[in-house]
Every structure is written in structure tokens, then in C-alpha cells.
Amino acid sequence: MKKVLISVYDKDGIDKFARKLVENDYEVVSSGGTAKLLKEKGLDIKAVSEITGVEEMLGGRVKTLHPKIFGGILARKEDKKELEKLKISFFDMVICNLYPFEDVIENPDATMADAIENIDIGGVALLRAAAKNFERVIIVSDISDYDWLIERIEKGGLSYKERLSLAKKAFLYTSKYDSAITNFFSQRCDEDEKFPLNILISLKKDSDLRYGENPHQSASLYLEVSSNNNIQFEKHQGKELSFNNFIDIESVFNIVNSFKKPVSVIIKHTNPCGIGKGKDTVEAYERALSTDPMSAFGGIVGFNRTVTKETAALIIKSFKEVIVAPSFDKSALDIFKQKKNLRVVKIEKTGSLKLDYRRTFAGWLVQEKDKHEVNEKEWEFVSNIKPTEEELNALRFAWKVVGFVKSNAIVITDDVKTLGIGAGQMSRIDAAELAVKKAKQANLEVKGAVLASDGFFPFRDSIDFAAKKRIKAVIEPGGSRRDNEVIEAANEKDIILVFSHRRHFRH
């Protein structure tokens, strides 16, 4: 008679699965709470202690850790005579899942004692032993596998590939479990370090994408296993999201959620081509669109408020790739259905990630996320002329926006919308010239507007250029060896100049 060992924390569906195994000539061996449950459900099972001759000890910490259990799991067919000599029986299947360590540590009130008590030892050993011997032993670590396993068993058994797949799943399970423990201990050990000394990241493929950045490149989407770093989203309609869509949606999400008031952004190739604030999504979108309607064609549009039918009606007047918002009115979704390929994606704000990761040839670069906060306590008003409250509002808006534009970056704004954006230029003056050119293309007036730069001015040329275009205020980080020359130029041209003392490069 075949023998199955069952030791599970998550007992959902285990009685039904065990009953089916009994019907297929399996003898059930179990312990602890699992054994109690199966007996209550009327199953005739054998206790682990009946095999080992040792009762559970240490409050249940030691149950299955015994040669008569692990010998029966790890033994190969050729070890049969040795097992008979030792009076050990083969185990043909192991069903095991682990204490909920990751769930426990997600509770902010969890103590170290709580965490330690939920570190599974015997279960991990069972999983690894059975997975190592997968050619003979079926290892079941996922309750979602119960139904199809019964079907395969009733049809004659599992193939080699199916057994291997179950073993891979078990090793993945223990790997990410150990990663969660290691990361938790690292946080506690390295709490005096800004960054932990070790970071373990476990990834699981979610889906294949149509292609990567370009059609000749393959690509897939992976999720972090057992992590709250994966922000949930819902696609209401449209084509599958592409590699580039995900990158652009990330930019949209970060921008709109940095504002408290209603805001809309239109993204092309991770750069905003327009950002607008308003009393509602209609006004915010119209202002965002006005910056660069030509570049907005085929863009990704984002909001930090519910999209209404009035806003949806405006959006579909021109081609857009993706619409992103925390929610949509039903009437808005009905309007979007007129454009069947338009992707409509719901992403609710669920907090922000603390660390930013980037892989390079030299290894992984890890940094704190740029929060794009406007910290006026750091600002220094270095020109003779000081800003009015209206001008301050425009400077606040411009300074927040410029941090989301690829370096070298210059943005020109009023207090509610972008007027011109110069992104990704090799020199700062080129970025300034591009920003003015973009404003001119959209028939927007930069006279009396404000200008923000993500990095300091190495020369006075950008101030001279701003004065020529009759821009009235400039904000930049400061910190150049020629800061005095820049300040002199601002005073000479009657321009308000503010040093933010914070840089916002974006590569």
C-alpha cells in the first residue's frame, strides 16, 4: 500500500484531498493539528508517533524530524533492502506547507519572538527531502495542485516532467521562505545601516509580453514573490500591456501620486509632455494637453482622481495608448469602449516603495526613492527681487515637475500647468531652448512664467536666455562654482532666483 505523509499549516481542502488519496489506496500518516483535523473528518490515519515511537516534543517543535520519516522519504528504490533491515517503510508522497512567517512579520506589531516561533524547520526539511527524491516521491506544496493531482493519479500516475515541476515548485517555495527570513533578520541586524548588508529578491514569472522595447526583443513580466512591492492593477479593456507600457505607466503613477490636488499627466517615453492641475479631471487634462498636443498623440494619460464621462469624451478625441487612474465612472468606461484597443488601467495608490533598484554591468545599484517633496525650508532666495505668493506657487509647481523629466531638464510653467518642457539634453542651455521651442509650437506664452532646472547652472547663459524670453523667476539647485555670476546675472536682468539646494537628476 502506498504511503503519504501530510503535514500542513494551511488545511484548506486537505480533508477532501486526503479522502481521495485513501480511495486510491494511499495510507495516510500525519501529526499535530493536521492529524486531529483528519480524524475529526472521519479518516483512518496513522500518527507519526506510531512510526517513530516518539511523541511530539517541545510544544510541537519536533514532530517529523526522525530517521524513520526521512529515511522513508529519501530512500531510493535500490535502498529497499536497507529499509527492510531497519524496518522503515517508503513514503510515496509528501504534502506539506509551512508556518505563515511572511504573514506574521507583515504585522507592524510583530515581535522577534513572534517571528521566531513561526519559522518552520521540519516542514522545510520535508519539502526539500521529498523534492530531492522527486523521481520516486510526489511532493505537494501548493493547495491549488490538489484537484489535478487526483485526476492524474486516477489516470495512472504522474509523468517525469510533472514530478519535476512539483519539485521545482517546492524548492521555489523554500527558497522564497528562507529569503523572507533572511531579509527580516537582516533588517534587525542592520538596523543601524541605511541599507541592509544583504537583500534577497525572489521573482516569479507572471506572463510573457508580446515583445520587449523593440519587436526583435523577447520579454516577460515577473513579480516579486511574497512581497507587497507588487502594486495591484486592473486592466478594464484594450490590448495586452507591452514592455514600454509598463515603463511609462510607472512614470505616470509616480507623477500623479506626488500631487494632492487633481492632476493629469501625459507621458511619452517616460517623459511628461504635459502636466496640469485643475478643479477636476477635465480641467487638469485640458491643461496637460495644452502643453504639447502634438507629442500627446499616442501618449499615456494619467490621473490621481476618478475619471468621469466628460473627461473620457475629451480623451478619445485623439489617439492614446493607455489611460491610468485610481478609478473610472461606469459611463467613462462605456465611452472608452468605443476605442477597443485603448488600454484602460486602474491602479489604486497603496503607498510608495522605499528603495529603487537598477541592474548594471557592475552589479545592482540600490538607492532611496526620490520623493519629489517640495521642501521650502531648504530654499534660498538669492536675488534682490523676492517672489510674490503667486510666483511662489508657480515655483513650487515647476520644481515638483522638473524632477520627473529626464536630465538635463528644464521646465517652464505657470502655477497650474506646464508651458514648455526640455528633456534629456546634453547641455542645460539646449534644454532651455527646447522648452521655449515646445511652448512656441503649442502657441503658449512664456513671458511672465517661471523656469525650473533639475541641476545647477554652470554658466550664466541660461539666465540670459530666460531674460531674453522675459521669464520672471528661476529655481535651480545652486552649487556651481559660478553661482555668484549666475546671481549677478539674475539681478542684472531683474529675474527672481531661488536656490533649492537639492538636485533632481533623472537618468
Residue given cell 522648452 in the structure block:
435
pLDDT at position 103 = 83
The beta strand positions in 348-442, using DSSP E, are: 355-360, 363-368, 380-381, 410-413, 418-422
Cell of residue 322, nine digits: 493607455
The one catalytic residue in 11, 46, 66, 132 is: 132
Q: 57, exposed or middle or buried, with CB in 10 Å at 0-12, 13-18, 19+? A: exposed
Topology given in CATH for the domain delimited by 2-189: Rossmann fold (3.40.50)
Terminal CA-CA length for the chain = 64
pLDDT at position 366 = 87
Which range (141-155, 346-360, 381-395, 471-485) has the least confidence?
Answer: 346-360
Residue 189 has pLDDT above 90, yes or no: no
Cell of residue 103, nine digits: 504573514
Which of helix, strand or coil describes residue 506? coil
Omega before 384 cis (within 30°)? no
Q: What is the mean pLDDT of residues 136-141?
A: 94
At the top level of CATH, the class of 234-347 is alpha beta
Residue 86 has pLDDT above 70, yes or no: yes
Distance CA 457, CA 480 (A): 7
Residue 204 has pLDDT above 70, yes or no: yes
Q: What is the mean pLDDT of residues 299-326?
A: 96
Q: What is the mean pLDDT of residues 482-491?
A: 95
CB 14 within 8 A of CB 95: yes
pTM given for the model: 0.78
Query: Which one-letter DSSP state was computed for residue 145?
Result: G
| Range(s) of the chain covered by CATH 3.40.140.20 | 234-347, 376-499
pLDDT band at 482 (very low <50, low <70, confident <90, very high): very high
Which of helix, strand or coil describes residue 391? helix
Residue 196 has pLDDT above 90, yes or no: no
CA angle at 201 for the pair 200 and 206, rounded to the nearest 5°: 160
Sign of the CA dihedral running 457, 463, 466, 471: positive
Q: 269, exposed or middle or buried, with CB in 10 Å at 0-12, 13-18, 19+? A: middle
Distance CA 446, CA 323 (A): 29
The dihedral region occupied by 221, where left means phi > 0, alpha psi between -120 and 50, and beta the remainder, is beta
Q: Find all residues with CB under 8 Å of 160, minimum gap 6, and list them.
A: 135
Q: In the annotation, is 66 catalytic?
A: no
pLDDT at position 348 = 83
DSSP line for 75-101: --GGGHHHHHHHT-PPP-EEEE----H
Distance CA 296, CA 285 (A): 11
> pLDDT averaged over the chain?
90
pLDDT band at 134 (very low <50, low <70, confident <90, very high): very high
Topology given in CATH for the domain delimited by 376-499: Cytidine Deaminase; domain 2 (3.40.140)
The one catalytic residue in 20, 269, 337, 339 is: 269
Q: Find all residues with CB under 8 Å of 436, minimum gap 6, and list them.
A: 412, 420, 422, 446, 465, 469
| Range(s) of the chain covered by CATH 3.40.50.1380 | 2-189
Q: In the annotation, is 132 catalytic?
A: yes
CB 277 within 8 A of CB 262: yes
CB 323 within 8 A of CB 252: no
Q: 250, exposed or middle or buried, with CB in 10 Å at 0-12, 13-18, 19+? A: middle
* % of the chain residues with pLDDT over 70: 97
Residue 123 has pLDDT above 70, yes or no: yes
Q: What is the mean pLDDT of residues 211-226?
A: 89
pLDDT digits (tens, 9 = 90+) for 342-365: 999 999 876 556 778 888 899 989
pLDDT at position 299 = 95
pLDDT at position 497 = 97
pLDDT at position 72 = 87
219 or 232, which is more confident:
219
* % of the chain residues with pLDDT over 90: 60
pLDDT at position 492 = 95
pLDDT band at 455 (very low <50, low <70, confident <90, very high): very high
pLDDT band at 247 (very low <50, low <70, confident <90, very high): very high
pLDDT band at 229 (very low <50, low <70, confident <90, very high): low
pLDDT digits (tens, 9 = 90+) for 35-74: 888 888 888 888 888 787 777 767 667 777 788 888 889 8
Q: Give the residue among 128, 122, 222, 227 at the shortest CA–CA distance from 168.
A: 128
